[in-house]
Each structure stands twice: as structure tokens, then as C-alpha cells.
Structure 1
Amino acid sequence: MSQRVTPRSSRTSRLRIRASVLAAGLGVSVALGAGVANAADTTAASGVASAVQAQAAAQAKAAQAKAAAAKKAAEAKKAAEAKAKKAAAAKKAAAKKAAPSWIDPVKKYRLSASFAQAGGMWQSTHSGQDFAVPSGTPVLAVHGGTVVKAGGNGAGDGPAYGNAIVIKHGNGTYSQYAHLSRIDVRIGQVVKTGQKIALSGNTGNSSGPHLHFEIRTTPNYGSAIDPVAFLRAKGVKV
């Protein structure tokens, strides 16, 4: 029986081939592992980026919503202020319309001696309208204006008037109040319609407590016109 002998060179070749195969396999495993690691890193990075983008988008959306709410609130506030301003203007206009421009010089009176009435009490005829009221009755400015005369001796128009006041109203119109027991205004003072300017009395050439009232075209005696007709033309129910 003969024994087969394998040449040494042949065995060496096979060993080399096996080593090469093992090395190749090892390289493939190493390369595969590195690829898997790289893929995992890429996936993780992508997930972080997506989360950051989502957070940024959420913050931007929240900021937009906040800005929109602030704008809406500002518009609502502006609209409310405009509405309030309009209501205030309407109220003021209504009050102005309701407030009379001219009024009676006293309240709760009785008309006595009238304008141009003849009699022994006056030099010629009566220069105004008398309002019979008790002494101490508040005397009111029939219209807004500026006090141009105030004092005794008829405020310069003579002792017959006693204590007197003259108010300039503009457009050549003046009002005069006489026989006063007290004067509450001074020359140069601006008064409003209905403001108390004096108390009625019985000073000067007077037959009893009353207010002598005139409408004049100048501040001085001798320029009087019918005060009742004038006030009625202004809407006053004298």
C-alpha cells in the first residue's frame, strides 16, 4: 500500500488562501460595522435637527399668535376710545342744545312796570321791565358776557338806579340790572348764562323790592330797547 504525499508547496498555498479569505471576511465585517455606526449617527442627527425645527416652528407660531392677539386688543381699545369720545361729544352737543342761550334774570317773579310805560316815577317813560321779587332774590346773568359796569349810583348811570350792573354780550347788546341790594361781580369779570351776579333789592328810586332790567345797544343810559320783546325773540318765555 502506497502513501500519498502532498507537496509542501501545495499546503502552503491552501493556507495562504484560507488566510486571505479570513482577512477578507474580517474586513467586510469591519466595514459593515462602520457603515451601521455611521447610519445610526446620521439618523440621530436627523432626529435632533427635526426636533429643533419643530420647536422653532412652534415658537414662531406662538409669537405670531401673541402678536395677533396684541394687535386685536389694541384695535379693540382704539375702537372703545373712539366710541367713548363720540359718546362724550354727543352728550356735550346734547347738553349744549338743551341749555338755553338766554334766560330770565330772576325766577318766580311777577311782571310789574313795563318798558316805555308813562308815570311820575320816571323822567319821561320807563326804560326797562320791572320784575317784582322779594329783596335778596338771586339775580342771574341772562346771557354770557363781560361785566363793564358795577357799583352804586347806577354804576355811573345815576342815583335813580341804586346799585346796578351792566354786562356786555357782544353784537351791540348789553343787559342792565338795577335796584340791587348786593353786587357779586366786578368790572372785567366774565360771567356765564345763569350765573348769580347779585341780589335784588330796593335801592335808588324804587317804590318797593324788585329788579329793574334793561336791554341796551350801548352800556349807557338812553339806549334801551324793549327787553321783553328781545328775550321772547331769543326763546325766553317771559
Structure 2
Amino acid sequence: MSKRATFQHSRRPSVSRVRGAVVAAGLGTTMVLGAGAAFAAGASASAPDAAGLVNTVAAESVAKQATVQGKAAQIAKQAVAKKAAEAKKAAKKAALATSWEAPVSHYTLSASFGNDGSRWAHKHSGQDFAVPIGTTVEAAHSGVVVKAGPNGGGDGPAYGNAIVIKHGNGMYSQYAHLSKIDVHIGQSVEKGQKIALSGNTGNSSGPHLHFEIRNTANYGSAVNPVAFLFKHGVTV
């Protein structure tokens, strides 16, 4: 055999070597593919668990956020309610301050409620406002006239000319020793409306207005008028 033939023969791989390489290559491919398939299968198996975990975390976050928002809403609601209550209280106070007034202006307080004295059979039943004769007397609160005339409007001669007004809150106001009466029984009057002129009629030691606040229209049911007016925002 020549050298050329020997050389060519040596460059040709043997059939057994080629077959071995193919088998090895196939085995490697199988191993690689098998590993990939296993990985894919594992990933597929773990996907539901991961999704569940995400959903759980999201639900907890939403719940916490809802709780925080609920507390904030409750605080805001309480603040609004507090402001509303304060506004209502202020409005009520303002209404009380403007719903009643003193029956005369530019006066001097003289005999007070509960005083003893020779001019009364019992303790003094009202508050006296010393004013000149002819001073305008105004309704201390809106209401309806239930008594008006001489003889205390029916309460007795000691009151002279007198008026009694029934008010919507169930109370009554009385104005006595008047020189002139400008209203009649059954007439509706407004707070601040002129109802009479002050005088010195009846059992009076000098010009003044005798003013009472009563629980009924009749003598004997009076309460302290100064304390009553003060409670309703009026200081005399």
C-alpha cells in the first residue's frame, strides 16, 4: 500500500466512532430536553401557589386600607357632628338673646322680686322699673293679650291699669300701674311692640312699671323675672 492510500485511510473516521458520537449526542439532547421539561412542569405546578399568595397579600392590603379609610371617615363624621352641635348651640343662644327683652328702656331698678314691704300683702311678686309717667312700655316677648284694663285687668286694684300676655312657651308676662293701655284682649303682639304707657295707678308710691313673669295668667304664680330674663339672654 502506498503512503497516499495510507494517509487517506487514516482521515476517514471509523463507522463505530461515528455511531458512538451520534448516540452520545442523542443522549445529551434527551437529557437537556428532559431537564427543560421537568423545569417547565415544576413551574406549572408552583404557579397556583404563587397566585394564591399574591391574592392573599392583595386582600390583606385592601382590608387594611378599608380599615384606615373607615377610621378617617368616622373621625370626619364626628368632627362634622361636633361643629353642627356647636353651631346649633350658638344659634339657640342667639335666638334666646333676641327672643326676649326688657319691657322699658332707660330705667332704674327699684323694688325687686321677693322683697318685703308695707305696700304688699305678701312678698313683692315682680320687678319694678322706675321710669317717668308716659314712658313707652313694650311687650317683652311675642304672644296674645289675655288681660287688659283697670283693676289690674282682673288681678285686683293694687295693680291699677294692667296687661297680661300669654306667650308661646307657656309663660305669661304682666305689666302694671299703667297710665294708658294700647292693646285689647285677644290681640296678638310682637316682641318690642308698644302696648302701653307707664304710670302711677293702683297701689304705687311713685311712677314705675311693675313687671312680672308668671306660670299662669293669674296672681300668685309669679317667678323671679330678672332671673328668667337672664336665662333667656337679657340682663337688666
Shift of 1:147: 0.2
Shift of 1:234: 0.4
**Distance 1:121-1:140 versus aligned 2 partners, 3 A rule:** same
Partner of 1:165: 163
Partner of 2:23: none
Partner of 2:173: 175
Q: Find the partner of 2:205 among 199, 204, 207.
A: 207
Cα distance in 1 between the residues matched to 2:189 and 2:139 = 7
Partner of 2:148: 150
Partner amino acid, structure 2, of 1:139: V
Cα distance in 1 between the residues matched to 2:167 and 2:95 = 19
Shift of 1:126: 0.4
- Structure 2 stretches lacking a partner, 5+ long: 1-90
Partner amino acid, structure 2, of 1:210: H
**Distance 1:204-1:98 versus aligned 2 partners, 3 A rule:** closer
Cα distance in 1 between the residues matched to 2:96 and 2:113 = 30
Partner of 2:183: 185
Alignment of 1:72-151 (within 5 A): 100-151=98-149
Partner of 2:56: none
Shift of 1:172: 2.1
Shift of 1:99: 7.8
Shift of 1:171: 2.8
Shift of 1:224: 0.3
Cα distance in 2 between the residues matched to 1:200 and 1:192 = 18
**Distance 1:124-1:98 versus aligned 2 partners, 3 A rule:** closer
**Distance 1:100-1:178 versus aligned 2 partners, 3 A rule:** same
Shift of 1:237: 1.4
Shift of 1:98: 10
Find the residue that maps to 2:98 and give its secondary structure.
coil
Shift of 1:100: 1.2
Cα distance in 1 between the residues matched to 2:127 and 2:211 = 5
Find the residue that maps to 1:154 and give its secondary structure.
helix
Partner amino acid, structure 2, of 1:131: F
- Structure 1 stretches lacking a partner, 5+ long: 1-92
Shift of 1:130: 0.1
Counting matched residue pairs gives 144
Shift of 1:97: 5.8
- Coordinate RMSD, CA, aligned: 1.6
Cα distance in 2 between the residues matched to 1:188 and 1:124 = 30
Identity of aligned residues (%): 73
Alignment of 1:35-46 (within 5 A): none
Partner amino acid, structure 1, of 2:131: V
Partner amino acid, structure 1, of 2:168: G
Partner of 1:230: 228
Partner amino acid, structure 1, of 2:113: F
Shift of 1:124: 1.4
**Distance 1:99-1:113 versus aligned 2 partners, 3 A rule:** closer
Moved over 4 A (4+): 96-99
Find the residue that maps to 1:139 and give its secondary structure.
strand
Find the residue that maps to 2:153 and give its secondary structure.
helix
Partner amino acid, structure 2, of 1:117: N
Cα distance in 1 between the residues matched to 2:134 and 2:165 = 20
Partner amino acid, structure 2, of 1:166: V
Q: Find the partner of 1:218 among 216, 219, 222.
A: 216
Contact 2:110 2:127 in 1 (8 A): yes
Q: TM-score, normalised by structure 1?
A: 0.59
Find the residue that maps to 1:100 and give its secondary structure.
helix
Shift of 1:137: 0.1
